[in-house]
Structure 1
Amino acid sequence: MPTILITGTNRGIGLELVRQYAADGWQVIACCRNPDTASELKQVQGIVDIHALDVTSDADITRLAGELAGKPIDVLLNNAGITAKNDSFGSTDTETWLRVFHVNCIAPLHLVEALVDNLAAGTQKKAISISTRMGSMGESPSGSYYAYRSSKAALNMAMVNAAADLRGRLILAMIHPGWVQTDMGGTQAPLRPQESVAGIRRVIAGLKPVDSGQFFNHDGSSIPW
């Protein structure tokens, strides 16, 4: 039975990831900040182990690693992410920017560091981070979303470096989920969470060691840095 650990599982893409992996017989370690209020997550059928985790808390990450000590994990999926409101030129806020950076860039790397032995003991040995093509400088950025765009560009760089450090030990990759109908994406987005997650899962399943450090779209195509 393969095991996957997913962050940010109380809603949106994260919740749908839990549903689909659990339905396929995976053991899912579902992490979210407030399990007590995650009513939809608690209703997911299958082998779902829910853990409280604030990804910005080093103490929480250390505690989680202790709880999972010695447990093989096949896939770590860094899904938790946030954006900033009113984040256009002339209205950026330092405190907000730093929090977005912490959630979107620093926390995913800290989780890879904390769980590297669990992943190395797994069969698939994959650490995946949900990124966005909005963080690509090769796709002609269109302005605004300063905190979100820069945090995801930094996430990509952090994980590319981790892929180099862990070459031969783990496979790391970044995946753009598409523009999805979630609280963050809005109702006007073209993709339903079910479609996005199905694509994400296909990409993850197909990853090979040669793909480590690469940036993929949910349809499997490559995205420029």
Structure 2
Amino acid sequence: MASVLITGANRGIGLALVNIYLACGWHVYATARNPNSAKELQQLSAQQQDELLDILPLDVTDYEQLHHLALSLASRPIDVVINNAGLYGPKGYGFGNCDVDAWRSVMEVNAIAPAKLAEAFYPNLCLGERKVFAAVSSRVGSHTENTKGGGYIYRSSKAALNSVVKSLSNDLLPEGIKTVALHPGWVKTEMGGPNALISAQESALGLKRVIDNLSDSDSGSFLSFDGSHIPW
């Protein structure tokens, strides 16, 4: 049975991914900072008769907790790891008004934690068949497409994540592990807001389709949920 680990799985795109993978018969390891308050995940778990869903506590920046979680899943093959957990940070700021403490927090969640996640579950991916590490990024992290300026905190964190993905692709492809950065689209979530263009389900369906169709030549790519390539 194929399996996937999804971080930030209690809402938005993460929750939509959980639903889609479960519907496809995958075993899902869904992480959330506070599983007991993740009502939608708990309801999904109660509905599962085949025990396909494991809800696991994880703050992605708590590296001791991450280490112990990886130990608890040691020797279990995991086909796909999706780093979905992310942090936007403050909104409405401009040049000269960046909150440095908030910037550090966003960089920690969006760039450092994904690298540590890859390190932690590298052994599980090696045991899996599909061998994919996918990080949910954003096209605002593209240097080429940054023609408006601003957004220093979030932009820089996603650009850093893209750099992490590129390095991982070089290090892990020799082990058969494909690594990609994925743009989910402008999604109607708490982060994306009500004016966004697509639903979390539309985004998650597209992301899974991209992941399902990855080839070795795609490793190290920056791909949109619709399969198109985004310039670095």
What's the TM-score, normalizing by structure 2?
0.95
User: 1:163–1:212: 8 Å Cα contact kept in structure 2?
Assistant: yes
Question: Structure 1 runs of 4+ off > 4 angstroms?
Answer: none
Q: Identity of aligned pairs, percent?
A: 48
2:230 aligned with 1:223: yes
How far is the alpha carbon of 1:145 from its aligned partner? 1.9
Find the counterpart in structure 1 of residue 137 from structure 2. Answer: 131
| 1:181-192 alignment runs, 5 A limit | 181-192=188-199
What's the TM-score, normalizing by structure 1?
0.98
Which 5+ residue runs of structure 1 have no aligned equivalent?
Answer: none
Cα shift readout 1:20-65 (whole Å, capped 9, x = no counterpart): 1011110000001000100011112441100000000111110111
| 1:1-225 alignment runs, 5 A limit | 1-44=1-44, 45-46=47-48, 47-86=52-91, 87-169=93-175, 170-225=177-232
Q: Distance in 2 between matches of 1:94 and 1:135?
A: 19
SS at match of 1:15: helix
Q: Distance in 2 between matches of 1:70 and 1:121?
A: 8
Q: Distance in 1 between matches of 2:74 and 2:57?
A: 16
User: 1:78–1:129: 8 Å Cα contact kept in structure 2?
Assistant: yes
Amino acid at match of 2:140: M
Q: Distance in 2 between matches of 1:215 and 1:83?
A: 19
How far is the alpha carbon of 1:150 from its aligned partner? 0.2
Q: Distance in 2 between matches of 1:40 and 1:172?
A: 29
How far is the alpha carbon of 1:106 from its aligned partner? 0.5
User: 2:32–2:58: 8 Å Cα contact kept in structure 1?
Assistant: yes
Amino acid at match of 2:102: T
Q: Distance in 2 between matches of 1:135 and 1:179?
A: 14
How far is the alpha carbon of 1:179 from its aligned partner? 0.1
User: 1:84–1:145: 8 Å Cα contact kept in structure 2?
Assistant: no
Amino acid at match of 1:148: Y
SS at match of 1:167: helix
SS at match of 2:144: helix
Cα shift readout 1:125-174 (whole Å, capped 9, x = no counterpart): 00000000000011134222211110000000011011111122110001
The farther-off stretch of 109-118 and 83-92 is 83-92
User: 1:134–1:141: 8 Å Cα contact kept in structure 2?
Assistant: no
> RMSD in angstroms over aligned alpha carbons?
0.9
Amino acid at match of 2:80: V
Q: Distance in 2 between matches of 1:28 and 1:201?
A: 13
The farther-off stretch of 163-172 and 102-111 is 163-172
Q: Distance in 2 between matches of 1:146 and 1:160?
A: 21
Q: Distance in 1 between matches of 2:108 and 2:43?
A: 30
User: 2:140–2:146: 8 Å Cα contact kept in structure 1?
Assistant: no
